[in-house]
Structure 1
Amino acid sequence: MKYYNFLFIILLGITLINCGDTKNVENSIFTFDNSSFKPQFLSDDALSLSILNPSNKEIDSIIYFVNDKKVGAKNGNIKLNFALKEQKLGYQYLKAIVYFEGKNSEATERVELVSNVVPKLLKYKIINTFPHDTASFTEGFEFHNDTLCESTGQYGKSYFRKYDYKTGKIFKQINLDAKYFGEGITFVNGKLFLLTYKEKTGFVYDAKTLKLEKTFTYDKDIEGWGMTNDGTYIYQTDGTEKIWKMDPKNQKMIEYINVYSGSSKIKSINELELINGKIYTNVWQKDAIAVVNPLSGAVEGILDMSALKKLVKNANADVLNGIAYNPKTKTIFVTGKNWDKMFEITVSE
């Protein structure tokens, strides 16, 4: 327990969820029987779904849904057991359509599914230290063909550039219009995608020439933060506990996961990098990197990076932000906003 609490101290960005925070939407005829519901469920648990019938209506059948997906049907008011092992973490929205006396009525409820994974405290080793432009308010950080690309934020100062990380020599830089606050970037299918903060606008560039090909509007009412990809889909953050999955072909959101460390959500998930099937992410304003399972949202590992900040000499250095994996060297590069250094590291348990 002490070890687990120590990991929570590292990730102080975690917001605890109050026990008993279930929401019962009132229904004039039927409600879910939540007497067996726990404040929080684990993936090994199962839900016992049944309906309270205070008016003693004659129930013909009930169809049950979890997150708008039909999970079963029962004649009369017979319980349905539903295993949670395949569900993503976060709130599970329950619905029952009750058929009775030639009519039907809905009952709704929600329960929270949290992680049963105890995150491992990971180690890192500094391999090299390289210069970093102190004027760069780092937002996106990613390698493309062994060349580092970085995007920056702040209105009137946002740009992205390709450069030699060993010397700092800039190969090409594209400045954004002053009305945009630049955010995360990622390369996929020969394109460079770039997000903006509150403008709900994204850009698509040719990965080689950096020529602008199109702009797009977010199809969800969210902010733009970090980005990464798995070669097929883009993953992006919005400043909450969510990591969205987006189809780069049409820029439409497909789904999202909620990031949990144990029983707590982690808010302010920021810059992302997919490394060996896991998502490495900065937590905004925290000197830590969380390693997240992209299927469930569970934090599986934590890197305490607080020692790196002590090696940064720039007095105006801001928060840790920037994770770039170099597949050629199989090492990870990390930096921060306005840092004077970037660090090449390896990670182990």
Structure 2
Amino acid sequence: MATSRSECEQQEAQPTSAPPTSTTQLLWQRQANGDAGHETSTTTATTSTSNGKVATAATINSSGTFMKLKTYLLALRPWSLSASLMPTLLGSALAYRSQWAAEFSMLTFFLTAFTVTAVHCAGNVVNTYFDFIKGIDKQKADDRTLVDHILTKDEVVSLGAILYMAGCGGFVLLAVLSPAKMEHLALIYFGGLSSSFLYTGGIGFKYIALGDLVILVLFGPISVLFAFMSQTGHVDWTTMGYAIPLALNTEAILHSNNTRDAESDGKAGIVTLAILIGRTASHVLYALLLFTPYSLFFIFGFKYSLWFLLPLTTLPQAFQIEKRFRNEQTMHMVPKQTAKLNFFFGILYIVACCCAHQLPTFVWRKH
């Protein structure tokens, strides 16, 4: 039977199996390379073709956005954040146990934690940027953000600026809500913010063997005092005594990192404490930083409250990490493992401070 002209035109107008679009090809290529990952949501819209179901551009954009956010998150070095969170929690716990406990505010607590964490993350980003600019982070570097072009230098700079602005925003709200005098809070906050930048930017304390001192003070006494004062509105210098175990443990994280990178740092022309004292003395110093807090807890436990023996449960893990520190083959794992230890160690210490019937006293406490 003869087919009408209109029917022929309809047949010609019917779509044939089109080759995959360039977007689809990109997705297939990512799947072949393992980059698309299983994290992409299976509920996104799909389009049926003669070759089967393929993800639409919306799927790819969603996956790309998720991966980008994940990249930004990893650039913040979240594994290191216990170094700032633990002193903040400790200062807040001491405020809760103080004579000004009636003024304790959960909103103030969350604002304090947010502000301190934002500044810490910004400092990590600044560290990433300047280590790369100065040629310290190379192919064997632990931080791959700029080395592998995961983020561009402009993206890292923008991320750091956003984090510093977020920290300042949190501080403004904190200053409004806190009973502390704004000038007192501002002195500590902007001192900490400046130190986080100058650690590698500007003066570059890290590059002239002063980085250990900065970290020891900033992520110990200063953070504890800031959190305590934000809650109570009062300055109690004895809080710095409580910060000593956390400060030593946090410094162990940095020292293990600098000891691991001593060779590459030396070739880059910078000076760290680990380079100055050498490998053997670095091992002795790391052991002192790691185990001295346990000696303090042993004394606190028998003199004040058995609750202070609780952090001693992490001692076996500390011995394992110290053993890895002495082995060149396992040395690269030590900084992150020390940070993990710092988290559990700190949590147990804070629990002890909250539950103990009597807290340690220091000779300079006013009666």
Normalised by the shorter chain, which TM-score bucket?
under 0.3
Structure 1 length as normaliser, TM-score?
Answer: 0.21
Per residue, is there more strand in 1 or in 2?
Answer: 1
Structure 2 length as normaliser, TM-score?
Answer: 0.20
Per residue, is there more helix in 1 or in 2?
Answer: 2
